[in-house]
Amino acid sequence: MKAIVISAPGGPEVLTHVELPDPVPAPGEVLVRVEAFGLNHAEAYMRSGAWGDVAAVPGIECAGVVEAAPSGELPVGTKVVAILGGMGRTRNGSYAELVTVPATNVVAVHSPLGWADLAAVPEVYATAWSGLFGNLDLRPGETVLVRGATSSLGQAAVGLAVDHGATVLATTRTPAHIPLLKELGAYDVLIDDGAIAAQVRARDIGVDTVFDVVGNSVLRDSLALVRPRGRVCQLGFLGGFEPVRDFDPIADLPSGVRLSFFGSAFVLGSPSFPLGEVPLDEMYAKVEAGVLRAHPTRVFRFDEIVAAHRVMEAGTALGKMVVTLDR
């Protein structure tokens, strides 16, 4: 099969096209013929060596067709999406014509959307849904601040929260991105200078929950901007992996405020976080109806993977990018 491997830790240019033996699924696994896969910042971290030793073939999600399922979980020919399950981290991932995935991380889909559209949804929308409704327990009528809203995960969170009947405040570091976030349904957009709490207080806005994709670099500020008994969920590290130095719960965690973390790469598909609880078919129907704007902003060919990673690192895509395989 054709595959893309990380030839050595480094920049986009280390992604190399090779021929590998077709993988063989073990009991409890599904062999998927990949038609398209989404691009994620996690894959750039893996490629660069920032996450240590990883599998040779990157890729944490895909859309495709079941080729084999030794234990019979899914019929051959079923249209599916596959998310995580160690792909790209502890097992070869989806940057290939074929990939084996634990059956717990493969879901049948029934949408008529094309492969590129199907591949644009799984990871970011499953993560956004889990953070908003699992960790944050977001309720209609509440106000949620999405920090890092122009990322593909942030945009997914804005769309899902608006559809749920919440009031969404979005943040971006770039004023030119305000119209994009308004089009997604954000009630207001704040320019993130690292001190959003002061802006929230100045506007007398009551924030019930924070969906934080920026991470450790702004954690203290995110905790300071919610109402008493508010909720904060951290889901990403766009601001870098540097730990929060000298964090002191007495000084930094307001009384009654709840802080949680959701790391989809480690838990989605596990017994505690079953993928079947995520309403992917419902999301696809809303994409088809135009309720959720989840179509990819850029679609690349398989042989354009280096260019695709360069765009991802430059941060100029302003949304989800996908790669389709040539047949």
**Domain assignment present for 269:** no
Look up the CATH number of the domain holding residue 97: 3.90.180.10
Judge contact between 186 and 210, C-beta under 8 A.
no
Q: Is the dihedral of CA 143, 147, 150, 156 positive or negative?
A: negative
Nearest Cα neighbor of 178 from 147, 209, 149, 146 is 149
Helix (H) / strand (E) element for 127: namely helix 122-129
Amino acid at 294: A
pLDDT above 90 (res 327):
no
* CA–CA separation, 32 and 119 (whole Å): 13
Q: Which residue has the tokens 């969170």?
A: 157
Question: 111: closest CA among 141, 135, 81?
Answer: 81
Its pTM stands at 0.95
Separation of alpha carbons 279 and 316, rounded Å: 29
Give the phi and the psi of residue 220 in degrees, each rounded to 5: -60, -40
Q: What is the mean pLDDT of the chain?
A: 95
pLDDT category of residue 237 using cuts at 50, 70 and 90: confident
User: d(Cα 42, Cα 237) in Å, to the nearest integer?
Assistant: 10
Q: Are residues 253 and 295 in the same domain?
A: no
Range of the domain at 18: 2-120+289-324
- Find the mean pLDDT for residues 13-28: 98
* Count of structural domains, the chain: 2
Mean pLDDT value of segment 137-151: 97
d(CA 323, CA 277): 27
**What pLDDT shows up at residue 265?**
86
Q: Give the number of other Cβ atoms within 10 Å of residue 111's Cβ.
A: 18
In this structure, are strands 167-172 and 188-191 parallel, antiparallel, or unpaired? parallel
- 277 domain-assigned: no
Q: Return the CATH number at 213.
A: 3.40.50.720
pLDDT computed for residue 117 by the predictor = 97
Residue 271 lies in a domain: no
Average pLDDT over residues 134-160: 97
Say if residue 218 is in the same domain as residue 94. no
Tell me the residue type at 57.
V
Mean pLDDT of 239-263: 91
Dihedral sign computed on CA atoms, order 35, 38, 42, 44: positive
What is the percentage of the chain residues whose pLDDT exceeds 70?
100
CB atoms under 10 Å from CB of 168, counted, come to 26
pLDDT in tens, 190-205: 999 999 999 999 988 9
The verdict on residue 136 lying in a domain is yes
165 shares a domain with 88 = no
The CB-based long-range contact list for 194-199 (8 Å cut-off, 24+ gap) reads: 194/218, 194/221, 195/221, 196/145, 196/147, 196/171, 196/221, 196/222, 196/225, 197/221, 197/222, 197/224, 197/225
Q: What is the phi-psi region of residue 215: left when phi exceeds 0, alpha when psi lies from -120 to 50, beta otherwise?
A: left
Are residue 128 and residue 105 in the same domain, yes or no? no
For strand 61-68 and strand 98-102, is the pairing parallel, antiparallel, or unpaired?
unpaired
284 inside domain: no
Q: Is 56 a residue whose pLDDT tops 80?
A: yes
Give the H/E segment covering residue 304.
none
Could you tell me if 234 and 261 are in contact, meaning their C-beta atoms sit under 8 angstroms apart? yes
CB 161 within 8 A of CB 153: no
d(CA 306, CA 240): 23
Same-domain check for residues 100 and 230: no
Strand-pairing partners, residue 233, are 211, 260
Tens digits of per-residue pLDDT, 264-313?
988 999 999 999 999 999 999 999 999 999 999 999 999 999 999 999 99
pLDDT, residue 51, reads: 86
